[in-house]
Amino acid sequence: MRYAGGKKLNGKEIIRILNEDIKSNSYQAYIEPFMGALGITRKVEHKIKLCSDLHRGLAGLYNDIAHGEFVIPHFVTEEEYGQIRWGEYNSLHVLVGFTCSWGGTWWGGYVRTPKDPIEAKHAGSLSVSLINTKRDVDMCFDSGHVSFLEMNYKEIAILDNCIIYCDPPYKGTKPYHCDKQFDHDAFWDWVRLQSQSNRVYVSEYQAPDDFESVWSKDTAVHMKREGKIRSVEHLFKIKE
């Protein structure tokens, strides 16, 4: 599924780090409080995964797909895109709102294939993006049980000795429409608290001084109509 800020293109090394840590330790569960488009979750190898997101209906979409209660369309025209946007708020509305929108931004305008052949190859087919959503949900269950929940990261009941991966809204970037007042300071305080009895990894451009980067990559992350902005993405954990 297309999703602004998703990790399908830049998540290979993050997944490697998480899976190596999982193999070396006996964590009770894998927890991902900002699951987004499942770019990381689908390839994490743990028998128990607890994934959540604050976005209304996203967990419901994944649960509907997992239970065979929602059939993904093979294509959505621009006319259908407009009709769905102003129609019923359901799993189809959530799927189309991200996957059929420019840059995977929530109802950011109907996506069209770029004229530049290199960008067109990178963007991929709209029909493939739609169908791959089911593939991604199915992959999440390859290593065991998965729960998809709709809740704020602070509402998750976390046991000790879990591995937690967070991909929150990045500081200094456009806020998510479902959480426009995201409190970054409160989030890092929560990470500190959870790090006392769990392993916590955070994707971000920057972090407080008591955190260290265990991986970084220079990457084009902001897709704008006038071009791209390059930034350095990090994977942080608290200093030991």
| Per-domain boundaries in the chain | 12-238
Q: Model confidence over 49-93: pLDDT tens digits?
A: 999 999 999 999 999 999 999 999 988 999 999 999 999 999 999
Q: Residue 102 — pLDDT band, cuts 50, 70, 90?
A: confident
Q: Which pLDDT belongs to residue 10?
A: 74
Strands (E), 82-210: 145-150, 163-166, 199-204
7 secondary structure, DSSP code? S
CATH for 12-238 (3.30.2000, 3.40.50, 2.40.50, 2.20.200) = 3.40.50
Question: Using CA atoms in the order 181, 186, 192, 193, what is the torsion angle rounded to 10 degrees?
Answer: -110
Q: Residue 120 — pLDDT band, cuts 50, 70, 90?
A: very low
Distance CA 156, CA 63 (A): 18
Give yes or no for residue 9 having a pLDDT over 70: no
Q: Which pLDDT belongs to residue 122?
A: 46
Q: Residue 117 — pLDDT band, cuts 50, 70, 90?
A: low
Which has more pLDDT, 92 or 8? 92
Give yes or no for residue 178 having a pLDDT over 70: no
What phi and psi values does residue 97 have, to the nearest 5 degrees? -60, -35
Q: Residue 207 — pLDDT band, cuts 50, 70, 90?
A: very high
Mean pLDDT of 212-239: 79
Q: Model confidence over 125-153: pLDDT tens digits?
A: 678 888 899 999 999 999 899 999 999 99
Least confident of 115-119, 127-131, 203-207, 215-219: 115-119
Q: Residue 226 — pLDDT band, cuts 50, 70, 90?
A: very low
Q: Cα–Cα distances in Å, from 222 out to 103, 147, 170, 231?
A: 9, 30, 11, 8
Give yes or no for residue 123 having a pLDDT over 80: no
Q: Which pLDDT belongs to residue 30?
A: 98
Give the number of C-alpha atoms closer than 13 A to the C-alpha of residue 34, restricted to the C-beta side. Answer: 21
Residues in Cβ contact with 149 at an 8 Å cutoff, skipping those fewer than 6 apart: 50, 51, 52, 59, 156
Q: Which pLDDT belongs to residue 192?
A: 98
Question: 102-137 as b/e, with b when 16 or more CB fall inside 10 Å?
Answer: bbbbebbebbeeeeeeeeeeebeebeebbbbbbebb
Query: Average pLDDT of the chain?
Result: 89
Q: Which pLDDT belongs to residue 128?
A: 81
Q: Which pLDDT belongs to residue 104?
A: 87
Least confident of 14-23, 166-175, 196-205: 166-175
